[in-house]
């Protein structure tokens, strides 16, 4: 590896390599050796930048959570545009991209990783942040009167994340749920609060 390569560049190179291994071979195949081989770097590079492999994995998940924060800001800004259902469908398609679905499986799979990422009172990392993102968006829509004033946004967001995870995680490799299926789930979940805003 060339000298003077910035730490952030090495981290991103290793993160992208880990994502490729996850997508191609699944969580069981994700090892430090597999990541460094995929990144085409010496085996010691990963351990120069991370305490151990679980530290690397925790940072990989945190990097994905940071991307989710950016997505949350965009979703929040979309309140009042298009339909509530259209915004939620688009958000769920982004939340459950193949890498995120694979990372959720990885967090399930590795107890130590889950322990490092968990904060008291939170749910499963990534899914908990996704739920908070949807709840924030639904609060904004409630404030604009596009859903019922008494809508329980926390329960709605939990239902949407749970249903979305089941739709996306249960697929064969390289397949996604039909857009009509996801749209139907979203419409069914929010139908009551959208209809009652008109009463």
The more confidently predicted of residues 35 and 108 is 35
**What does the pLDDT average to over 173-196?**
88
Q: How far apart are CA 65 and CA 163, in angstroms?
A: 20
The alpha carbon dihedral of 29, 32, 36, 39 has a sign of positive
Packing angle between helix 127-143 and helix 84-95, nearest 10 degrees?
170
Confidence band of 135 (pLDDT split at 50, 70, 90) = very high
The more confidently predicted of residues 198 and 155 is 155
Confidence band of 122 (pLDDT split at 50, 70, 90) = confident
60-196 under CATH 3.10.450, yes or no: no
Q: Does the pLDDT at position 14 exceed 70?
A: yes
Residues of the chain with CATH 1.10.357: 60-196
Q: Does the pLDDT at position 98 exceed 50?
A: yes
Is the separation of the CB atoms in 131 and 123 below 8 Å?
yes
Q: Does the pLDDT at position 173 exceed 90?
A: no
Residues of the chain with CATH 1.10.10: 1-49
Burial of 166-191, coded b for 16+ CB within 10 Å and e otherwise, reads ebbeeeeeeeebeeeebbebbeebbe
Predicted TM-score of the model (pTM): 0.88
**Most confidently modeled range among 40-49, 71-80, 110-119:** 71-80
Domain 1-49 top-level CATH class: mainly alpha
Is the separation of the CB atoms in 101 and 92 below 8 Å?
no
Q: What is the mean pLDDT of the chain?
A: 90
Burial of 99-133, coded b for 16+ CB within 10 Å and e otherwise, reads bbbbbbebbeebeebbebbeeeeeebbbbbbbbbb
Is the separation of the CB atoms in 26 and 2 below 8 Å?
no
Is the separation of the CB atoms in 157 and 138 below 8 Å?
yes
Q: What is the pLDDT of residue 5?
A: 45
């Amino acid at each position: 590896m060339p000298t003077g390569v910035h730490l952030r560049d090495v981290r991103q190179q290793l993160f992208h390599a880990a994502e490729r291994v996850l997508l191609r071979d699944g969580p069981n195949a994700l090892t430090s050796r597999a990541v460094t081989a995929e990144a085409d770097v010496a085996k010691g590079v990963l351990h120069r930048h991370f305490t151990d492999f679980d530290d690397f994995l925790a940072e990989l998940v945190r990097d994905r959570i940071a991307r989710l924060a950016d997505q949350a800001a965009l979703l929040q800004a979309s309140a009042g545009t298009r339909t509530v259902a259209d915004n939620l469908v688009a958000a769920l398609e982004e939340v459950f991209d193949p890498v995120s679905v694979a990372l959720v499986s990885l967090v399930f799979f590795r107890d130590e990783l889950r322990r490092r990422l968990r904060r008291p009172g939170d749910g499963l990392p990534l899914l908990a942040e996704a739920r908070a993102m949807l709840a924030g968006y639904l609060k904004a829509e409630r404030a604009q009167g596009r859903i019922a004033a008494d809508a329980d946004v926390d329960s709605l967001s939990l239902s949407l994340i749970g249903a979305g995870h089941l739709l996306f995680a249960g697929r064969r490799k390289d397949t996604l749920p039909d857009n009509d299926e996801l749209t139907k789930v979203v419409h069914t979940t929010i139908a009551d609060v959208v209809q009652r805003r008109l009463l």
